[in-house]
Amino acid sequence: MLGKKLDGRYHVLSKLGSGAMGDVYLVQHILLRRREALKILNKRLAATQQFVSRFRREARATNRLHHPNIVSLYDIGQLPDGHFYITTEYAEGENLGVLLQHTGALPPARVVAILVQLADAVGHAHERGVVHRDIKPDNMILIEHRGKPSTAGWTSWSTMPAWP
């Protein structure tokens, strides 16, 4: 996959990881020269209409969120080989799950700062009828924003019913 051109718009730079629904790659949008994260739905799952619908709902839900601690959705599409994909803002930083594995517990002040940002992002999503289905350290990237530590979340958002 490395070095390939996808959908005529993306040049694959590296693999960022894999999850239950598919693989994630660092790509460069060829025309915009912007680095993005491209998530490709597993072909086995793409054969199931239920998962394709879930993937599309995830994209629509993510698109409703505009918050400094939530990555922005850029694009959704289908590759010629049948794989569905979404592209999002690339949050360059340190994966919280990996950091915790290497360092163990973080200082309380840093934990509080991370949790405040997480709570603000989740609150923003809930105000828009969106819930994150998989909040965990592995889905959080610690970045520096304007010289200050910040967090950025990954996708796995879906719509939730309105509160009664």
**Domain CATH for 39:** 3.30.200.20
Query: How far, in Å, are 91, 97, 119, 134, 159 from residue 105 at the CA level?
Result: 23, 11, 20, 21, 33
3 state SS of 34: coil
Residue 62 counted as domain residue: yes
The rounded mean pLDDT for the chain is 83
Residue 37 counted as domain residue: yes
Closest to 8 measured CA to CA, from 80, 83, 84: 80
Q: Which two tokens stand for residue 32?
A: 């915009």
Task: Please tell me the predicted confidence (pLDDT) of residue 146.
Answer: 62
What domain range includes position 115?
A: 94-159
Task: Please tell me the predicted confidence (pLDDT) of residue 158.
Answer: 41
Residue 126 counted as domain residue: yes
What confidence tier does 159 reach under pLDDT thresholds 50, 70, 90?
very low
| 27 and 43 together in one domain | yes
Residue 71 counted as domain residue: yes
Q: What backbone phi and psi angles, to 5 degrees, belong to 36?
A: -135, 160
| 85 and 98 together in one domain | no
Which percentage of the chain shows pLDDT scores above 70? 88
Query: How far, in Å, are 1, 32, 49, 53, 65 from residue 12 at the CA level?
Result: 7, 14, 27, 26, 26
Contact at 8 Å (CB) between 57 and 159?
yes
**From CA 160, how far away is CA 54, in angstroms rounded?**
12
Task: Please tell me the predicted confidence (pLDDT) of residue 124.
Answer: 92
Task: Please tell me the predicted confidence (pLDDT) of residue 153.
Answer: 55
Given a cut of 70, whether residue 164 has pLDDT beyond it is no
| 64 and 114 together in one domain | no
Residue 47 counted as domain residue: yes
Q: State the burial class of residue 112 (Cβ atoms within 10 Å of its Cβ: 0-12, 13-18, 19+).
A: exposed
75 annotated active-site: no
pTM: 0.80
Per residue in 103-143, pLDDT (tens digit) is 999 989 888 888 888 899 899 998 988 888 778 888 888 88
Contact at 8 Å (CB) between 37 and 89?
yes
3 state SS of 64: coil
Per residue in 41-77, pLDDT (tens digit) is 887 777 778 877 877 887 888 888 998 888 888 999 9
Contact at 8 Å (CB) between 40 and 25?
yes
Which residue among the candidates 75, 120, 134, 138 is catalytic per the annotation?
A: 134
- Count of domains for the chain: 2
| 52 and 83 together in one domain | yes
Q: Which of 66, 89, 112 is the last residue of a domain?
A: 89
Q: Identify the weakest region by mean pLDDT among 15-19, 33-37, 43-47, 139-143.
A: 43-47
Residue 32 counted as domain residue: yes
